[in-house]
Chains A and B, each alone.
Chain A
Amino acid sequence: MPYSINVNGAVREVDVDADTPMLWVLRDVVGLTGTKYGCGVAMCGACTIHVDGKARRACFTPVSNVGSAQIRTIETLHETAVGQALQRAWRELDVVQCGYCQSGQLMSAAALLEANPRPSDDDIDMVMAGNICRCGTYGRIRAGIHLAARYLNESTTGSGQ
């Protein structure tokens, strides 16, 4: 049946079965391929998106469950201050290797920083353990989250460099 979903600020009509995961709605129907397929069973985090600001695995989020929620994907992460800070930190530390998991890593990290602006290593581990990276960029991801937190803190306190 047809569903109206709100993706990155635009309403999209999609005509798919109720159980169709948002992963495939986004990638194959809407045409936003930044959200990646990795496992299909919510074990790798490559498909992480934001549903009303909360990190969700798109492969386990049926289209019929999202209703009128605001969905954000990697393609508009830069529209948020947290997203910008993370992308800047990722660039500064050259976190990526193959890059395939990084959309999901960034979306998980963004949700973490929105909820917890100064996460500890343990806080980061707890959230980010859901995102697998086979290239092994974990150390840089953790450092990147800390660096992004610092950027955000600097911009809110106006303490500059």
Chain B
Amino acid sequence: MSAGNPTGLSRREFLAVSLAAGGGMLIGFPLAGRTQTPTPLPAPSAFIRIDRSGRVTLILPYVEMGQGSYTAQAQILAEELEVALDAVTLQAAPAAQVYASPILGEQITGGSFSLRGAWATMRLAAAAARTMLIDTAAQRWRVRAASCRAENGRVIHSGGRSFSYGELADDAARRPVPAAPTLKAVDAFRVVGQPRKRLDSPAKINGTALFGIDMRPDGVLHAMVQACPVLGGRLVSVDPAPAMSVKGVRQVVKIDDAVAVVADHTWAALKGLRALSPQWDEGANRNLTTADMVAAADAALARTGLVFTNTGDVAKAEASAARRFEATYRMPMLAHAAMEPLTCTVKVADGRCDVWVGSQVVGRAHKAAAEAAGLPPDSVSVHNQYLGGAFGRRLETDYVSQAVLIAKQVKSPLKVTWSREEDMQHDYFRFHNHSLVSVAVDSTGQPQSWRHRVVAPNIMARWFPGFQKDGIDLDAVDAAAGPYDIPNVVVEFTRNEAPAGVNTGNWRGVGPTRNVFVVESAIDELAHAAGRDPLAYRQALMSKAPRARAALELAGRESQWGTALPARTGRGVAVFEAFGSHLAMVAQVNVSRTGHARVERVVCAVDTGIAVNPDIVRAQIEGGVIYGVSAVLYGRVTMDKGRVQQRNFDTYPVVRMNEAPKIDVYIVPSTAEPGGVGEPGTSGVIAAVVNAVYAATGKRLRTLPIDPAQLRNA
């Protein structure tokens, strides 16, 4: 690890030091980390505060939604600042431009970007602060800085005398920022790389952790809301009387596309809502079905797309190929189904608007609330809370706008809660993605060219326009060619939007979750067609991807790849590079005579660079695997007459403990910069499971989720 400034930012951009309000040192820094791929999500800023008592506070723009970002960021800070982890206080950042990335201008937690964004800059900022504290002490003692060291929140002179950071903070803040603060060497790390206990655990096991849904400002009333069940429809009218006769109901509130019932408690609101018979204008989607959307995506497969990758000469390779492999893969609509249904609490009073919410996009939530309230941004405050899961759903702000539009018609502070059914049916869905893969194969079964046409909506056009290139959604084509030595490659993007009113968004693992399923299914098919072992076939094609290949070899060893298994049981593998990490997974699946697939075990090998907290890395991969297994076994949202047919966990099943595979995560030691780990567990496991089903049954499934009817007696 080289010291110095790896961000590419000028020093002036990088560090700005000012006196903190109330004394002490405040350091602001942009968290834009260097990444190999273009950054779709902006990296925000954070602040370190050291008060006169020596207390270190880290104000974090990156939110905590279970992924462990609070703990990992604190570890990075504690490491370079030389403070004990338990001496660090964490604060969620409010929505404010000062916390936005000065490069991209936004405050977003998502895309497995938080740690990558934070890594280099947070280390540098903390190292700069440490240097300034040491220099301050050295000046007071009139000794050389080199004779002083920082340790456990103190600066210590070689003679033994010391100052606490708090005693130095005010003077340190007035010093110039060092030109090139020296970073600690990787082999000197004592906090980073350690499986430290999560800082958010204690409050989450005794009921005291506060999520968005737990907000109770004085005088709060409770609302439940129903939007038009036909997606995109509008409210025409509603007679409030049936709701008003329910005990505890205070008010019926209408907005353009929804009705809400306000009551003393949530149950009364729900009863009131159920008593209503709203008249809806169902709009253009009144006859929309899943079959329509699948047909549209299939039709798009025939359209030439925008070319994202074009290397070598695919047409020439195809013309001279011994054989052509072609396959179409289809992925369904999915809901996020985080455990905490969407909720937002709002107080509109005295020309101000306060919003309590769990959001991945605090700055956008702030803007949405201000617009809905009709107030200037300065009159709006967003108080972000723990998120009860997100998986991409809380990257949207529809539920914030809606809550404000309702609350401004109500005199008391108001908590708006979506029922589970509302949450599932009015999601920003992962949309239908179809892919066409065409591969030219030589006489030995080796791929000579790779053509992948991705049919997907352009989510980034709406959600983050900067992450497009020439009209191509760069997330949609991420990881669409795999880590393989194929000399001639074309990747195309054919845009296929959902009908207006059907909202689409980001879902855990985003583009790679779709494309790794496609690429790793197709490669598996090629291996079997060539009569080769699927793991060895991949391995031989990975000369340019040594880290992924090492992970593949590790996963192979740990899964006892190649050893005998019981009847109707098979192993499947997937290997890929995404989110700055390099992973391989081997799934072991048993398929019953009735066609039921049981994922028994998943072995994951992960090279994520420096694992800042190896236990959190493991936890994220474990969780990503479970999320992906739910999708591959069950995940499917269907529509009829413009209505989502799934309502709750009965019709949208997810993996439960009795179905959870044994998951073993092996971390490849590395001194490379950290990659992301929140997304890729989900991205890899889907293909590994489908490939294992093939190994168990000889049945190749190209449409998700797994259909037991196709595996019955297979």
Which residues of A pack against B, CB within 8 Å? 16-17, 19-21, 23-25, 27-29, 31-41, 43-44, 46, 73-75, 77-78, 87, 90-91, 94-103, 106, 124-126, 128-142
Identify which of A21, A23, A36, A136 contacts B623 (C-beta below 8 A). A136
Q: Does B625 contact A (CB under 8 A)?
A: yes
Cα distance, A37 to B213, chains bound together (Å): 9
Is A39 a contact partner of B648 (Cβ separation < 8 A)?
A: yes
Cross-chain contact of B200 among A27, A96, A125, A142 (Cβ < 8 A): A96
CB proximity of A143 to chain B, nearest CB, Å: 11
Question: Is B99 in the interface zone, CB < 8 Å from A?
Answer: no
Question: Is B265 touching A20 in the complex (CB atoms < 8 A)?
Answer: yes
A124: chain B residues at CB < 8 Å are 657
- Choice from B68, B246, B267, B650 contacting A97 with Cβ under 8 Å: B68
Contact assessment for B391 and A134 in the assembled complex, using a CB-CB cutoff below 8 Å: yes
Residues of B within 8 A of A99 (CB): 66, 200-201, 203-205, 209, 211, 386, 388
A-B contact pairs, 22 of them (CB 8 A): A16-B247, A16-B265, A17-B246, A17-B271, A20-B265, A24-B267, A32-B207, A36-B339, A36-B388, A77-B206, A90-B201, A94-B201, A96-B204, A98-B338, A98-B388, A99-B388, A100-B389, A125-B657, A126-B658, A132-B339, A135-B627, A136-B622
Query: What is the CA–CA distance of A23 and B420 in the complex, to the nearest angstrom?
Result: 14
CB proximity to A under 8 Å, residues B244-280: 246-248, 264-268, 270-271
Contacts of A106 in B (CB 8 A): 205
For B153, the chain A residues whose CB sits under 8 A away are none
Is B341 at the interface (CB under 8 A from chain A)? yes
Q: Is the CB of B201 within 8 A of A96?
A: yes
Q: Are B623 and A34 in contact (CB under 8 A)?
A: no
Residues of B within 8 A of A25 (CB): 265, 267
Closest Cβ of chain B to A46, distance in Å, is 6
Q: Is the CB of B202 within 8 A of A100?
A: no
Interfacial chain B residues near A41, Cβ < 8 Å: 420, 648, 650
Contact B248 A16 (CB under 8 A): yes
- Residue pair A29, B265 in contact (C-beta under 8 Å): yes
A136 closest partner in B (C-beta): B626
Rounded to whole Å, the gap between the CB of B668 and the closest CB of chain A is 21
Residue of B213, B417, B420 with highest tally of chain A CB at under 10 A = B420
Beyond contacts A98-B389, A131-B657, A136-B626: 15 other A-B pairs, Cβ-Cβ < 8 A, are A17-B267, A20-B265, A25-B265, A28-B267, A33-B207, A33-B214, A34-B207, A35-B207, A36-B213, A78-B206, A94-B198, A94-B201, A94-B616, A98-B387, A131-B656
- Known A36-B339, A98-B65, A134-B391; judge A24-B265 contact (CB<8 A): yes
Task: Say how far B214's CB is from chain A's closest CB, in angstroms.
Answer: 4
Interface positions of B from 369 to 394, Cβ below 8 Å from A? 386-391
Once A97-B66, A129-B658 are accepted as A-B contacts, the answer to whether A43 and B207 lie under 8 Å apart by CB is: no
Shortest beta-carbon distance from B63 to chain A in Å: 11
Q: In the complex the two chains form, is A139's CB within 8 Å of B197's CB?
A: no
Check: B419 CB closer than 8 A to any chain A CB.
Answer: yes
**Is B325 located at the chain interface by the 8 A CB criterion?**
no
B residues with CB within 8 A of A: 65-68, 197-198, 200-211, 213-214, 216, 222, 246-248, 264-268, 270-271, 337-341, 386-391, 417, 419-420, 615-616, 619, 622-627, 648-650, 654-658, 660, 662-663
Query: Complex formed: what's the CA distance from A33 to B625 in Å?
Result: 30
Contacts A96-B204, A99-B209, A100-B389 hold; do A132 and B656 have CB atoms under 8 A apart?
A: yes
CB distance from A79 to the nearest CB of B (A): 11
| CB proximity of A60 to chain B, nearest CB, Å | 12
Closest B residue to A99 by CB, please name it: B204
User: A136 touching B247 by the CB < 8 A rule?
Assistant: no
A75 CA to B205 CA, complexed, in Å: 9
Nearest A residue to B337 by beta-carbon distance? A134
Instruction: Please determine whether A39 and B197 come into contact, CB atoms closer than 8 angstroms.
Output: no
A129 touches B657 (CB 8 A): yes
Instruction: Name the residue on B nearest A63 (C-beta).
Output: B267
| Residue in A32, A40, A77, A138 whose beta carbon sits within 8 Å of that of B626 in the complex | A138
B34 to chain A: closest CB distance in Å? 28
Asked if A128 and B265 sit within 8 Å, CB to CB, the answer is no
* Complex Cα–Cα for A99 and B213 (A): 13
CA distance A28 to B625 in the complex (A): 35
Please determine whether B623 and A137 come into contact, CB atoms closer than 8 angstroms: yes
CB-based contact B420/A40 at 8 Å: yes
Q: Are B657 and A17 in contact (CB under 8 A)?
A: no
A136 touches B207 (CB 8 A): no
How long is the Cα–Cα vector from A17 to B619 in the complex, in angstroms?
Answer: 43
Q: B420 contacts A102, CB within 8 Å?
A: no
Does B339 contact A100, Cβ atoms closer than 8 Å?
yes
Is B660's CB under 8 angstroms from A138's CB?
A: yes
CA distance A103 to B340 in the complex (A): 13
Closest chain B residue to A102, Cβ basis: B204
Distance (whole angstroms) from the CB of A127 to the closest CB of chain B: 9
Which residues of chain A come closer than 8 Å to B622, judged between CB atoms? 136-137, 139-140
> Closest residue of chain A to B263, judged by CB?
A28
Given A97-B619, A138-B626, A38 and B207 contact (CB-CB distance below 8 Å): no
Which chain A residues border B264 with CB–CB below 8 Å? 28
Contact A17 B391 (CB under 8 A): no
B623 touches A135 (CB 8 A): yes
Report whether A139 and B660 are in contact in the complex, using a CB–CB cutoff of 8 Å: yes
Q: For residue B212, give the distance in angstroms from its CB to the closest CB of chain A.
A: 10
**What B residues does A28 contact at CB under 8 A?**
222, 264-267
Pick the 5 closest A-B CB pairs, nearest first: A34-B207, A136-B626, A98-B66, A99-B204, A100-B388
Q: Is the CB of B660 within 8 A of A103?
A: no
Asked if B207 and A125 sit within 8 Å, CB to CB, the answer is: no
Q: What is the CA–CA distance of A21 and B419 in the complex, to the nearest angstrom?
A: 14
- The reply to whether B339 and A38 contact each other, CB–CB distance below 8 Å, is yes
Least CB distance from B434 to A in Å reads 26
Interchain CB contact (< 8 A) of B266 among A24, A35, A140: A24
Question: By CB atoms of chain B within 10 A, which of A28, A73, A137 has the most?
Answer: A28
| A residues less than 8 Å from B626 (CB atoms) | 133, 135-136, 138
Which residues of chain B come closer than 8 Å to A73, judged between CB atoms?
207
What B residues does A38 contact at CB under 8 A? 339-341, 420
Taking a contact as CB atoms under 8 Å apart, the answer to whether B222 and A43 are in contact is: no
A32 to B265, CA, bound (A): 13
Q: Which chain A residue has the least Cβ–Cβ distance from B620?
A: A97
In the complex, what's the smallest C-beta–C-beta distance from B665 to chain A, in angstroms? Answer: 10
Inter-subunit contact B67/A97 (CB<8 Å): yes
Contact check, A31 vs B657: say whether CB atoms are below 8 A apart: no
Decide: A37 and B341 in contact? CB cutoff 8 A.
yes
Closest Cβ of chain A to B496, distance in Å, is 28
Checking B205, B210, B625, B662 against A136 with a beta-carbon cut-off of 8 angstroms, the contacting residue is: B625
Collect the chain A residues with CB atoms within 8 Å of residue B654's CB. 132, 134
A77 to B271, CA, bound (A): 31
CB of A140 within 8 A of CB of B619, answer yes
**Distance A98 CA – B213 CA, assembled complex (angstroms):** 13
Q: A91–B206 Cα gap in the complex (Å)?
A: 11
Asked if A17 contacts B247 (CB within 8 A), the reply is: yes
Closest to A34 in B: B207
Residues of A within 8 A of B648 (CB): 39-41, 43
B198 pairs with A36, CB closer than 8 A: no
Q: Which of A32, A44, A94, A142 contacts B615 (CB 8 A)?
A: A94
- Residues of chain A with a CB closer than 8 A to B616's CB: 94
Docked Cα-Cα span, A20 to B271, in Å, equals 10
B339 touches which of A23, A34, A74, A98 (Cβ 8 Å): A98
Closest residue of A by beta carbon distance from B203: A99
B208 partner residues in chain A, CB cutoff 8 A: 34, 75
